[in-house]
Structure 1
Amino acid sequence: MFGGENSVGKTIVVAGRSFQVVGVIDDWQPMPKFYDVNNGAFNETEELFMPFTLKEELELPNWGNNNCWKSPDGEGYKAFLQSECINTQMWVELPNATAKAEYMDYLNNYVMEQKELGRFPRPLKNRLSNVMQWMERQEVVEEDAKMMMWLSFMFLLVCLLNTIGLLLAKFTGKSAEIGLRLALGASKADLFKQHLVETAMIGLLGGFAGLGIAILGLQGIKSLYGDFVGDLATLDISMVSFTLFIALLSSIAAGLYPTWRACNIVPASQLKSQ
């Protein structure tokens, strides 16, 4: 709005009112947007924030859920704010378990005090949820996404079983070579390391190939769903590293048994057969 200049202290007009800029937020896009899952857990963050104390003065409306167990006593905005309607989410930063326990005591004491005034007829049931617990309760991640994750792991298991079979066949076909090398003085440890490195290289190449397929798949998802999944259908460096690590670890695990079998053949039997 100000051509890239420092906007702190400048004035902007929103909804016919003038506001002074007191700070500029750096790039901040939590995904999911944990603090407002009601209006879209994967929406972009807001472009403007203002002090909560202005809500009553400016009679700012609410977006999201309004839960009322009792109708407001009277008409107008002030009556709504003083009613039994829950329309605001409260987030607090509690650095340790002691702070959490003290804040829970504060909440419980407040509710018990209000009960004496005739409010909150239900039994005491306050609870504090951290970010992950809150998103789980709100079912931010759909069940079908979890199902797809488990299907992916099952597919990985099937691939590993096939890899074990292929490596077993490959190394068995090299029995004569392995037997000859053992007869000439090669140690089982050296042969084991060599074949394990070969297996790891196959897994690493498979990991790169899988990343290429994943990138193509993400591009397909973006073309189907548009900008809505633009920030979700991405691969960052941590995901790429984890993918290659899983590919490497899986291939080594799949190659242990075939490698062990190949390194334990009897050289004499292989030399006689040749």
Structure 2
Amino acid sequence: MAGRGGERSAGALPAPGEAGRRRVADPVRELLEAHRALCERAVDPLEIAAGLEEAGISAAVAGRYRHADVFGLAEELFARVPRRPVEPPAPPAARPQPGWRYRLGTAAGLLGVLLLPLVTAAPGALATALALALAAWPAAGAADRAARWVRHTGRVQVRSAVTLAEFRARMRPVLPVALGLHLAVLALTSFAALAVLTAVAPRPGPAAIGLLPAVVQRAGPVQWYGQAVLGLLVGAAAVLRRLGRAGLALAGVALADLTGLALVLLRALGLPVGWAAEPGTLTVLAAGAAAAVLLPRAWAATARAGSYP
């Protein structure tokens, strides 16, 4: 009940207009209530920043809450929410394993990609194309190991980075290093396969040029370029699969397979695609189209803290 002179008692509720002004003066409160569970269980501001980022809150959105970036907003949320009592961690739930149809589709798609060097092989270049295709198979295992290293490095940096910007700075060189290591392994396996082919079935011509030049010249420049593009595609797909984006990785591999198949059909139908007759051209086109789709997404995935649960 109001006192004399129109004064409000200490226990009275604020007027509607006053409550509205308080909400406007505290724009973080609504965001705090929407993400209270995340903020209460978070062990540091970086975990809150990763959750906000997963929810679609960018630096531009953080500006509406009077912060220059998402991490500054996460620090305020972390400071304002009381921590829940620490409970013993529950055993992690087992992730559902993909069904046999999904695994079969993945294996078939990867096999199709690794056989791309054969799609433009003329009779005289069939042996070289087969050697390059066989060399790509063990290199695919190296791509998966590199992808595991990316995931392990990301998990370490999520725990050790102080800010989201620091985490992203540390992760920036990780994907190029992983892809570079994979390409190095692919180059070694390709050289070894072509060296064996050159020793078993040397090409006619002067034998005094040496083994190394003979191996390098065994495949044309377009074939070597196609092998490198193929390595980038397989490496990007492996990273995406290890970071929880297996569907996107499979879609990229399928895109390469379908593109290669479409180009082969166009040539078989007699359409004017003589420019694609050189060995390796269709590999560059098919693998390059898919790699152009997957590489930016792999780069974005490695920079997201939410990719490393």
Structure with higher RCO (Cα < 8 A, 6+ apart):
2
Give the TM-score, by structure 2 length. 0.29
Between Structure 1 and Structure 2, the one with more strand by share is: 1
Between Structure 1 and Structure 2, the one with more helix by share is: 2
